[in-house]
């Protein structure tokens, strides 16, 4: 997750966006463990706080052997403190990890050369690797939110699929998520275009009232039931599959 959003007072343990985004991830992991006799390792690439990895570990403790949190911003002290722990913090992806799920949760849009980073990732991983990737959708949704968070681009299902297929990934599913709020987001973003030379001071991600937060979580729990059919529009792109 993007640590800049925590600066706005967002609590991912409650906030509708993070609590909703973990739902398709959990669904995908349930499918993985259903078809496997052995527990998996988890790799959270560009992990930040590691929210999604910790949520998976809490929900599926018996199906996870170890967790690798990969982020360039971890200090040497943080890395050393987790050296012999089940959850390990690292700056770089180790080579040869097998039987694992690698997650890139809103990461690729932050990287100038997304093709190069995917090439590096796929070349280092071992056998039986599943992936779950989310990225922001549609160039026409670009706004001051993207500028503040340091995004280079937004994607479509086609552009995300092209990237993954060219980097040794076999895609088993792509779809848009947050489709039910897409019309509202598009309207808001239309009036929040960044001005030349202006640096926005915050993202769109802010705390909401309990009522609004609960309503949005309910909307997206409902959307999850038909999300895999959504190839039309949404605020996020999702891709699932295997590497190699």
10-residue averages of pLDDT along the chain (244 residues): 63 95 98 95 97 98 98 96 97 97 98 97 97 97 89 98 97 98 92 63 78 96 97 98 92
List, for residues 44-76, the tens digit of each pLDDT value: 999 999 999 999 999 999 999 999 999 999 999
Domains of the chain: 3-243 (3.40.50.150)
Residue 201: the pLDDT is 56
Q: Encode burial over 172-203: b for 16+ CB neighbours within 10 A, e otherwise.
A: eebbbbbbbbbeebeeebeeeeeeeeeebeeb
d(CA 11, CA 231) in angstroms, rounded, equals 30
Residue 6: the pLDDT is 62
Instruction: Check: pTM over 0.85? Answer yes or no.
Output: yes
Residue 8: the pLDDT is 61
Output the CA–CA distances (angstroms, integers) from residue 123 to 135, 203, 244, in the order listed: 21, 34, 9
d(CA 235, CA 177) in angstroms, rounded, equals 6
Residue 238: the pLDDT is 98
């Amino acid at each position: 997750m993007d640590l800049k959003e925590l600066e706005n007072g967002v609590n991912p343990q409650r906030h509708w966006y993070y609590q909703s985004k973990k739902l398709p991830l959990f669904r995908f992991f349930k499918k993985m463990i259903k078809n496997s006799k052995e527990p998996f390792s988890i790799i959270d690439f560009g992990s930040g706080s590691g929210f999604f990895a910790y949520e998976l570990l809490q929900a599926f403790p018996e199906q996870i052997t170890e967790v690798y949190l990969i982020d360039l911003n971890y200090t040497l002290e943080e890395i050393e403190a987790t050296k012999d722990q089940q959850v390990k913090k690292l700056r770089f992806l180790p080579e040869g990890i097998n039987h694992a799920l690698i997650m890139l949760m809103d990461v690729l849009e932050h990287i100038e050369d997304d093709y190069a980073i995917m090439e590096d990732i796929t070349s280092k991983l071992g056998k039986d690797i599943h992936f779950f990737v989310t990225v922001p959708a549609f160039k026409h949704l670009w706004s001051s939110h993207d500028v503040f968070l340091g995004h280079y681009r937004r994607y479509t299902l086609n552009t995300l699929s092209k990237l993954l297929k060219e980097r040794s990934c076999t895609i088993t599913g792509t779809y848009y998520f947050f489709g039910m709020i897409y019309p509202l987001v598009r309207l808001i973003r239309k009036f929040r275009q960044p001005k030349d030379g202006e640096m926005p001071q915050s993202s769109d991600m802010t705390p909401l009232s309990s009522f609004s937060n609960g309503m949005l979580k309910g909307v997206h729990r409902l959307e999850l039931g038909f999300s895999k059919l959504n190839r039309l529009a949404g605020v996020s792109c999702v891709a699932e599959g295997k590497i190699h």
